[in-house]
Amino acid sequence: MIEIRNVYKRFGSQVILDGVTLTVQEGETLALLGPSGTGKSVLLKSIIGLIRPERGEIVVDGQIVSRLKRQELARLRAKIGYVFQNGALFDSMDVFENIRLGLTNEKEFKDLDYARKRAAECLRLVNLNPDTMKKMPAELSGGMRKRVGIARAIAGKPKYVLYDEPTSGLDPVNADIIDALVKRLEGELGVTSITVTHDVRGAFRTADRIALLTHGKIVAIGPPEEFRESQVPEVKEFLERDFETASLNGTDK
Amino acid sequence: MSTLLSRVQRQTGRFVLDGLASVGRFADLLVEMARGLVEWRVWLPRTFDEAWSIGVGSLFIVVLISSFTGAVTALQAGYQFTGNVPVYVVGSLVTESVVLELGPVLVGLILAGRIGARYAAELGTMRVTEQIDALESLGRSPASYLLLPRVLACLLMIPMLVIFADVIAVGAGWFIASNSSIGISNEDFTYGSRAYWHAFDGWYSVIKGFFFAAAISLISCYRGFTTRQGAEGVGRSTTGAVVTSSVLILLLDTLLAKLLLVS
């Protein structure tokens, strides 16, 4: 379980997170919506200790992240897969080596045969040909990089997966594949996930609960149906704007 | 007037705070690297790869710089020391000035540009494209994977490149001195080289190389690792790494001469 308790974070004079409180239950998929620059990625990075909040606590499996020692934090991170917005692939390594680094169990990491099998398996899961393994990140398209980033995040069979804009920049077909993958990982492996996204439709398709983060606070949270009917002005405004954008783009379904 | 004064005070305060914050971040980085030393299985193979890349990659530029340096030193010495000054002094001057000063300093400055810029740009790009965050998120230490191999490779290879540069420069100086209008014989050159030679001179050159290696690698890794604000930040880190390590090389050059030669 991930508990975010009253977390504050600011950069310079700009307050990013202003007392965020949120709980994600085991096996749940939470979609975190919100306008750009509201601190969604900051919150996600705080969960794995890449950013340290000024106040408040983040508790993962009963451990307070900010109080963990180096080794304990490394062990905790091994349980969490993080999908970065632009893939964040190591550009000096080929796809196989990138995915291999995701094997957080040292025994599995050193076993090259296992690593190859697991890399092929993860690539298939994200709808990529296992031959992609030999390619360098520079040879991949933006969408492929993103999917390799997901393959790397799930290679170590994590308990939690944090997705930072997993479908942004993807074509609708691949966005659907990623949405289906998120759902499948939750169903088959019981993975708990938090997805930071702008894709409202994707959020409604995949999430058990949806939260809206705006002005540094969670202003609404609930199951998709409840969220859609929410009378909170920020939610109504956010959904209306998304509907208008979708109508303009001709993607409203 | 009071507005100007308060602005100056504010700017000074900010400058001091930024400076202290940088010192703190640099100390953090050193502590991280010290902690990372236990993960030798991670950094050792990468250190060898990096050392090979630095050594082989820098060989051409080091040979080029050092041979020209030795040749020019010999020609200028031959031009200046005429009349009553014995010709073997050219041998002394070439050997001592190359080993004590020109070899290590020129190699240091060239490598500050070559290796320092590369490290700052590589690590800076990795920082702004979240590759360093990704490494950390996978429970792996950036100090062991990225910093230690670079720093240790420099500490290993730069002193070796300095020795290599010394030998090439003295050899080039010898060749030019004995095959030009200076007309010094091989015997005179070797006599001159040995006349003012101290056993410590060679060590001094290596010690300087070691300190310059530490300055180049630590500064460029620090600048790259703490890069912010996209492509512009990478550019700023790269320039900063080269300028800061070059200035530090000159400061260390003076300090080491004072401490080790004329204390």
| Both structure tokens of B77 | 């010495």
- Cβ contact B130–A90 (<8 Å): no
Residue A113 has a pLDDT of 93
Residue A246 has a pLDDT of 54
Chain B positions with Cβ closer than 8 Å to A: 35, 126, 129-131, 133-141
Vertex B102: Cα angle to B52 and B170 (nearest 5) = 80
Question: Do B23 and B49 reside in the same domain of the chain?
Answer: no
Strands A80-83 and A160-164, sheet pairing: parallel
Helix, strand or coil, per DSSP, at residue A96? helix
CA distance A105 to chain B (A): 10
| Cα nearest neighbour of B141 on chain A | A74
| Both structure tokens of A136 | 């360098």
Residue B239 has a pLDDT of 95
- CA distances to A33, A166, A220, A241 from A192, rounded to whole Å, are 17, 15, 20, 29
Contact A223, A209 (CB under 8 A): yes
- Cβ contact A80–B135 (<8 Å): no
User: By percentage, how much of chain B surpasses pLDDT 70?
Assistant: 99
User: By percentage, how much of chain B surpasses pLDDT 90?
Assistant: 67
Selecting from B131, B137, B140 the residue whose C-beta is nearest the C-beta of A50 gives B137
Distant-in-sequence, close-in-space partners of A94: CB < 8 Å, separation ≥ 6: A133, A134, A135, A136
- Cβ contact B131–A91 (<8 Å): yes
- pLDDT at residue B91 is higher than 60: yes
Q: Residue A229: what residue type? A: E
Chain A residues in contact with B141 by the CB 8 A cut-off are 74
Among B171, B52, B55, B177, which residue's Cα sits nearest to residue B107? B55
Chain A residues in contact with B134 by the CB 8 A cut-off are 82, 84, 88-90, 152
- Cβ contact A88–B131 (<8 Å): yes
Selecting from B133, B140, B141 the residue whose C-beta is nearest the C-beta of A50 gives B133
Q: Is A100 on the interface with B (CB under 8 A)?
A: no
Q: Residue A176: what residue type? A: D
Question: Could you give the CA distance from residue A10 to residue A18 in angstroms, rounded to a whole number?
Answer: 8
Helix, strand or coil, per DSSP, at residue A111? coil
- pLDDT at residue A109 is higher than 90: no
Per the DSSP assignment, residues forming a β-bridge with A18 are A8
Question: Could you give the CA distance from residue A206 to residue B5 in angstroms, rounded to a whole number?
Answer: 59
Token pair 């001709």: residue: A250
- Mean pLDDT confidence for A51-72: 90
Selecting from B35, B130, B140 the residue whose C-beta is nearest the C-beta of A84 gives B130
- pLDDT at residue A250 is higher than 60: no
- Cβ contact B136–A77 (<8 Å): yes
Question: Do B116 and B213 reside in the same domain of the chain?
Answer: yes
Q: What is the tens place of the pLDDT at every residue in A214-248?
A: 888 898 899 988 888 888 888 888 887 765 555 55
- Mean pLDDT confidence for B219-240: 92
- Mean pLDDT confidence for B235-259: 95
- CA distances to A132, B21, B133, B202, B258 from A99, rounded to whole Å, are 11, 36, 15, 48, 52
Residue B148 has a pLDDT of 95
Query: How many domains are there within chain B?
Result: 2
| Both structure tokens of B31 | 């502590």
Token pair 């940088």: residue: B22
| Cα nearest neighbour of B140 on chain A | A74
Question: Do B128 and B187 reside in the same domain of the chain?
Answer: yes
- pLDDT at residue A37 is higher than 70: yes
DSSP state of B229: S
- pLDDT at residue A253 is higher than 50: no
Interface test with B, best of A13, A75, A82 (most B CBs within 10 A): A82
Greater pLDDT, A77 or A172? A77
Selecting from A74, A88, A91 the residue whose C-beta is nearest the C-beta of B139 gives A74
Selecting from A70, A77, A86 the residue whose C-beta is nearest the C-beta of B137 gives A77
Question: Could you give the CA distance from residue A249 to residue B121 in angstroms, rounded to a whole number?
Answer: 39
- pLDDT at residue A34 is higher than 90: no
Strands A29-33 and A192-196, sheet pairing: parallel
Residue A168 has a pLDDT of 81
Residue A125 has a pLDDT of 85
Q: Residue A186: what residue type? A: E
- Cβ contact A74–B137 (<8 Å): no
- Cβ contact A101–B140 (<8 Å): yes
Q: Residue B198: what residue type? A: H
Question: Do B184 and B235 reside in the same domain of the chain?
Answer: yes
- Cβ contact A90–B129 (<8 Å): no
Question: Do B186 and B252 reside in the same domain of the chain?
Answer: yes
Residue A252 has a pLDDT of 42
Among A3, A14, A18, which residue's Cα sits nearest to residue A62? A3
Residue B263 has a pLDDT of 67
Distant-in-sequence, close-in-space partners of B79: CB < 8 Å, separation ≥ 6: none
Greater pLDDT, B43 or A175? B43
Mean pLDDT of chain B: 91
Question: Do B8 and B129 reside in the same domain of the chain?
Answer: no
Contact A71, A151 (CB under 8 A): no
- pLDDT at residue A98 is higher than 70: yes
Chain B residues in contact with A102 by the CB 8 A cut-off are 138
Question: Do B114 and B243 reside in the same domain of the chain?
Answer: yes
- Cβ contact A88–B129 (<8 Å): yes
Q: Is A239 on the interface with B (CB under 8 A)?
A: no
Least confident among A57-61, A240-244, B5-9, B108-112: A240-244
User: CB burial class (10 A; 0-12, 13-18, 19+) of residue A14?
Assistant: exposed
Question: Do B4 and B61 reside in the same domain of the chain?
Answer: no
- Cβ contact A88–B133 (<8 Å): yes
Question: Do B4 and B74 reside in the same domain of the chain?
Answer: no
Distant-in-sequence, close-in-space partners of B76: CB < 8 Å, separation ≥ 6: none
- pLDDT at residue B9 is higher than 70: yes
Q: What is the tens place of the pLDDT at every residue in B101-141?
A: 999 999 999 999 999 999 999 999 999 999 999 999 998 88
Q: Which residues 32-91 on chain A approach chain B with CB closer than 8 angstroms? A: 45, 48, 50, 70, 73-75, 77-78, 80, 82, 84-86, 88-91
Q: What is the tens place of the pLDDT at every residue in A117-171?
A: 999 999 988 888 999 999 999 999 888 888 899 999 999 989 999 999 888 877 8
Selecting from B35, B133, B137 the residue whose C-beta is nearest the C-beta of A70 gives B35
Question: Could you give the CA distance from residue A148 to residue A98 in angstroms, rounded to a whole number?
Answer: 8
Q: Between the CA atoms of B56, B57, B59 and B62, what dihedral angle is there, to the nearest 10 degrees?
A: -150
Residue A249: band (very low, low, confident or very high) from pLDDT cuts 50, 70, 90: low
Residue B90 has a pLDDT of 87
User: CB burial class (10 A; 0-12, 13-18, 19+) of residue A109?
Assistant: middle
Q: What is the value of pTM for the model shown?
A: 0.85
CA distance B179 to chain A (A): 48
- Cβ contact A48–B137 (<8 Å): yes
Question: Do B61 and B131 reside in the same domain of the chain?
Answer: yes
Residue A215 has a pLDDT of 86
- Mean pLDDT confidence for A26-52: 89
Distant-in-sequence, close-in-space partners of B128: CB < 8 Å, separation ≥ 6: B227, B228, B229, B230, B231, B233, B234
- pLDDT at residue B257 is higher than 50: yes
Question: Could you give the CA distance from residue B170 to residue B92 in angstroms, rounded to a whole number?
Answer: 10
- pLDDT at residue B88 is higher than 70: yes
Question: Do B190 and B78 reside in the same domain of the chain?
Answer: yes
Vertex B149: Cα angle to B138 and B161 (nearest 5) = 165
User: CB burial class (10 A; 0-12, 13-18, 19+) of residue B172?
Assistant: buried
| Both structure tokens of A173 | 């077909």
Full residue range of the structural domain in which residue B10 is found = 1-36
Question: Do B29 and B125 reside in the same domain of the chain?
Answer: no
- What is this model's ipTM? 0.86
